[in-house]
């Protein structure tokens, strides 16, 4: 953690870094905006506590709607094709103690409002508060508490999860929590405006063509974890205080834009991680006060499928960008790297010269701009003897900020024998006011 991070703490640092007007990428959500609750259907059959909800739903036909009245309604409940179940937050479907509590089992089923309390506790059966297995199903404005898994969507298309709140157990053993949202073999769906607190992960596995927009995820492990999931859009989300903001594995064609990824600290903390993922676009995000801003592990993986990292603000991180070995094939344009403990590091002492660096704004650039065109007149070269040593011997990070390391770097700049090879070279570093948007654009 940087000295400023230690003095101010994560919430103050996130506010400080994001309250910079035009320097914050446009569209990054500085606060979460809750969606309005779903409206009561105009025609529905009221269901009072104590009435046989399961039997009523079993006899329902497509197009039927049921409205729960305030109170406790025992689960489980199964919604078939085209059936709507609505209720205010004060109407609670209570788990029977095993299995799923609510099951959307047909095309076009809709769960709207209410609270779903609890689920079964078996990890092997993935028992959830809400389990969706039906195309074009909708879960809208539902509050989920005391459940192992929150919402599981499996083998479905065109599903909408909107405006829900999933409150996890917050158990200290984070791996023993269930996932808040899990998409499995699900396509062309929209996860929008949800709030997730104290759960484990939001998982998107073997799922493509989905949109994840306007959500807030806090206090978990992975804000969103992609695996073998292609062509998904992640936009306008807030990932704050998780172990990892977004992590993509073995995925292609992801677009990550205008997200806030902040306060992912600790030994495994990172804002964004890319492992063997290709053709990923990361633009206009704010990555603030993370242990590592962006982590590359053998990404891009597929030849010719470049990753584009453009217009992002990477600030107040222990390490701005980390490469696991000398990864090649990334385009880094128009990014802002300010206030980081170290800008870029390559594990094992390699370099990042195989990537394209253009128009990035480094706060440790020592060059000049005589013609005042906003572009430095000499290249930015990252050479650090202490950084090179730390890449080979991570325990040296314990001495970060010590006078001895400053003396070591100063000595290496005046003694050619000790001068390390460059880690990266940016031929056109940005020095102008505001964000370096022009050089970061394709």
Q: What is the CATH number of the domain that holds 251?
A: 2.160.20.10
Per-residue pLDDT, averaged over 12-40, amounts to 75
Per-residue pLDDT, averaged over 226-253, amounts to 98
Between 272 and 410, where is the model more confident?
Answer: 272
Closest to 45 in 3D by CA, of 33, 59, 35: 59
Buried-state track 176-192, b at ≥16 Cβ within 10 A, e below 16: ebbbbbbbbebbbbbbb
Pull the structure tokens for residue 237.
Answer: 């989300």
> What's the number of domains the chain is made of?
1
Residue range 323-360, pLDDT digits in tens? 998 788 999 999 999 999 999 999 977 899 999 999 99
Residue range 174-189, pLDDT digits in tens? 989 999 999 999 999 9
The mean-pLDDT minimum among 16-20, 50-54, 175-179 falls in: 16-20
Q: Give the strand order in the sheet containing 222-227.
A: 77-79, 102-104, 128-132, 149-154, 181-184, 201-205, 222-227, 244-249, 270-275, 292-297, 319-324, 342-346
**DSSP-assigned letters across all residues of 154-196:** ES-BS-EEES-EEE----SSGGGSPPSEEEES-BS-EEES-EE
The Cα–Cα gap between 16 and 302 comes to: 38
pLDDT for position 421: 81
The mean-pLDDT minimum among 114-123, 141-150, 247-256, 415-424 falls in: 415-424
The Cα–Cα gap between 67 and 125 comes to: 30
Asked whether the whole model's pTM tops 0.95, one would answer no
pLDDT for position 440: 44
Measure the CA angle with vertex 360, ends 359 and 366; round to 5°. 100
Residue range 288-308, pLDDT digits in tens? 999 999 999 999 999 889 999
pLDDT for position 1: 41
pLDDT for position 348: 79
Is the predicted pLDDT of residue 3 greater than 50, yes or no?
A: no
Q: Residue 22 CB: number of other CB atoms within 10 A?
A: 10
pLDDT for position 12: 56
Q: Which residue range forms the structural domain that includes residue 400?
A: 3-440
């Amino acid at each position: 953690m940087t000295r400023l991070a230690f003095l101010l703490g994560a919430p103050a640092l996130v506010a400080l870094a994001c309250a910079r007007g035009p320097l914050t990428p446009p569209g990054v959500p500085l606060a979460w905006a809750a969606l309005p609750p779903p409206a009561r259907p105009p025609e529905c059959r009221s269901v009072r506590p104590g009435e046989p909800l399961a039997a009523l739903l079993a006899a329902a036909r497509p197009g039927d709607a049921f409205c729960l009245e305030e109170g406790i309604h025992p689960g489980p409940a199964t919604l078939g094709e085209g059936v709507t179940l609505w209720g205010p937050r004060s109407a609670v479907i209570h788990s029977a103690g095993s299995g799923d509590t609510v099951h959307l089992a047909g095309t076009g089923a809709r769960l709207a409002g209410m609270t779903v309390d609890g689920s079964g506790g078996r990890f092997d059966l993935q028992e959830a508060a809400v389990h969706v297995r039906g195309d074009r199903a909708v879960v809208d404005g539902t509050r989920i508490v005391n459940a192992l898994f929150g919402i599981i969507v499996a083998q479905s298309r065109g599903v909408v999860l909107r405006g829900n709140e999933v409150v996890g157990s917050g158990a200290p053993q984070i791996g023993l929590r269930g996932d808040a949202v899990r998409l499995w073999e699900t396509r062309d769906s929209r996860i929008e405006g949800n709030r997730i607190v104290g759960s484990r992960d939001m998982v998107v596995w073997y799922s493509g063509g989905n949109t994840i927009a306007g959500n807030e995820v806090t206090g978990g492990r992975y804000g969103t974890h992609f695996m073998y999931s292609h062509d998904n859009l992640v936009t306008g989300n807030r990932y704050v205080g998780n172990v990892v903001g977004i992590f993509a594995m073995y995925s292609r064609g992801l677009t990550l834009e205008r997200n806030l990824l902040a306060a992912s600290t600790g030994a495994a903390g990172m804002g964004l991680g890319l492992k063997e993922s290709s053709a990923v676009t990361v633009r206009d995000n704010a990555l603030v006060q993370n242990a590592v801003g962006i982590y590359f592990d053998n990404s891009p993986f597929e030849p010719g499928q470049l990753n584009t990292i453009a217009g992002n603000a990477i600030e107040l991180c222990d390490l701005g960008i980390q490469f696991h070995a000398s990864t090649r094939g990334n385009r880094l344009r128009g990014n802002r790297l300010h206030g980081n403990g170290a800008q870029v590091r390559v594990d094992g002492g390699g370099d990042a010269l195989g990537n394209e660096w253009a128009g990035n704004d480094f706060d440790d650039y020592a060059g000049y701009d005589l013609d005042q065109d906003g572009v430095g007149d000499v290249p930015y070269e990252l050479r650090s003897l202490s950084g090179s040593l730390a890449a080979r011997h991570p325990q040296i990070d314990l001495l970060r900020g010590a006078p001895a390391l400053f003396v070591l770097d100063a000595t290496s700049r005046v003694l050619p024998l000790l001068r390390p090879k460059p880690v990266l070279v940016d031929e056109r570093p940005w020095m102008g006011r505001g964000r370096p948007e022009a050089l970061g654009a394709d």
